[in-house]
């Protein structure tokens, strides 16, 4: 009996596949792109804040020096210089990140240093609408928690000579049946304004094109309400939802109090700031 013995064969030599290195390279590129996107998120949310903190500190220092140089002697607001700080915004309800120095202008480089004042809008304390834009995510995100503001929360603006205490207007659901007596002292001076201001509430979300919310009377074409009939409002604008720029969140407040600064007592602060 004969057995045919099949000699052990080595596996066929692997043909060098041309596809494999290409696929591997493609996979590596995909992973790399994913890592770059993650790094970009980190950049947007953190790294930009480091840069902004430096710019904000510089603006604050310049403002402090200017206020020290030019003693308080006038109630007239000083015309702000584009790209430079001219006021301080204190919002006790938003915690220890505040106050921020508000700069003049709303271009990207100005806003990266802090909240920016819409140049054509009113100055703090004036009749009309003092409108300020600020980032909601990244770049220190001064207005990150704007959605947490409630009616009557204080928005205090400090200028070279004055403290202006604005307070958030009644929110949409609170306008009907707003009773100042029930609301207590915190809300004194806050109520739905009515007239041409009907529909102006504490907080809204609008399309980015709705620029009329920063008009002297929000929602009304400029010039329809004579200056002497205008209220003194503040308007804050930021991105909405957070991490997107699809819409804008708008907060309106009304001036309720004003305290002149005392030149030789710079440490005096309005009671609204607490402590």
Partner 1 sequence: MYAWIWRHLPGSVPVKVVQAVVLVAVVVAVLLFVVFPWVEPVLPFTDPTLE
Contacting partner 1 within 241-260 (CB under 8 A): 243-245, 248
Question: Residue 75: is it exposed, middle or buried by C-beta count within 10 angstroms (0-12/13-18/19+)?
Answer: exposed
Element (H, E) at 240: strand 232-240
Query: Nearer Cβ to partner 1, position 43 or 229?
Result: 43
For residue 174, give the nearest of 195, 194, 148, 151 by alpha carbon: 151
Q: How far apart are CA 270 and CA 256, in angstroms?
A: 12
What sign results for the dihedral spanned by CA atoms 180, 185, 188, 190? negative
Residue ranges in 181-220 that form contacts with partner 1 under rule CB under 8 A? 208-211, 213-214
Write the binding mask 99 to 118 for partner 1: x where contact by CB under 8 A, - elsewhere. -------x-x--x----x-x
Site for partner 1 in 43-72 (CB under 8 A): 43-44, 47
Question: Which one of 49, 151, 237, 256 is in contact with partner 1 (CB under 8 A)?
Answer: 237
| Binding footprint of partner 1, residue count (CB under 8 A) | 37
Residue 229 touches partner 1, criterion: CB under 8 A: no
- Residue (111 or 190) nearer to partner 1, CB: 111
Both tokens of 237, joined, read 């604008």
Nearest 5°: the CA angle 251, 160, 185 is: 50
In the complex, the residues that contact partner 1 under the rule CB under 8 A are 24-25, 28-29, 32, 36, 39-40, 43-44, 47, 106, 108, 111, 116, 118, 133-139, 143, 208-211, 213-214, 237-239, 243-245, 248
């Amino acid at each position: 009996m004969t057995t045919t013995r099949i000699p052990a064969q080595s596996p066929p030599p692997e043909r060098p596949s041309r596809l494999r290195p290409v696929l591997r390279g493609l996979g590596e590129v995909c992973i790399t792109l994913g890592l770059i996107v993650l790094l970009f998120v980190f950049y947007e949310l953190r790294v930009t804040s480091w840069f902004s903190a430096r710019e904000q500190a510089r603006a604050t220092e310049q403002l402090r020096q200017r206020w020290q140089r030019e003693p308080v002697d006038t109630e007239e607001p000083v015309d702000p210089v584009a790209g430079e700080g001219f006021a301080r915004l204190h919002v006790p309800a938003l915690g220890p990140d505040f106050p921020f120095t508000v700069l003049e202008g709303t271009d990207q480089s100005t806003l990266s240093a802090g909240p920016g004042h819409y140049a054509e809008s009113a100055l703090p304390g004036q009749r009309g609408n003092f409108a300020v834009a600020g980032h909601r995510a990244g770049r220190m995100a001064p207005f990150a928690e704007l959605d947490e503001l409630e009616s009557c929360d204080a928005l205090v603006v400090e200028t070279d000579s004055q403290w202006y205490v604005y307070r958030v207007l009644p929110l949409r659901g609170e306008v009907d049946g707003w009773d100042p007596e029930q609301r207590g002292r915190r809300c004194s001076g806050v109520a739905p304004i009515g007239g041409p201001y009907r529909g102006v509430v504490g907080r809204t979300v609008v399309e980015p094109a709705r620029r009329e919310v920063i008009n002297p009377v929000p929602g009304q074409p400029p010039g329809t309400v004579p200056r002497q009939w205008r209220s003194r409002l503040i308007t804050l604008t930021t991105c909405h939802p957070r991490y997107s720029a699809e819409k804008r969140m708008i907060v309106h407040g009304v001036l309720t109090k004003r305290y002149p600064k005392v030149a030789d007592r710079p440490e005096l602060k309005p009671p609204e700031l607490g402590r």
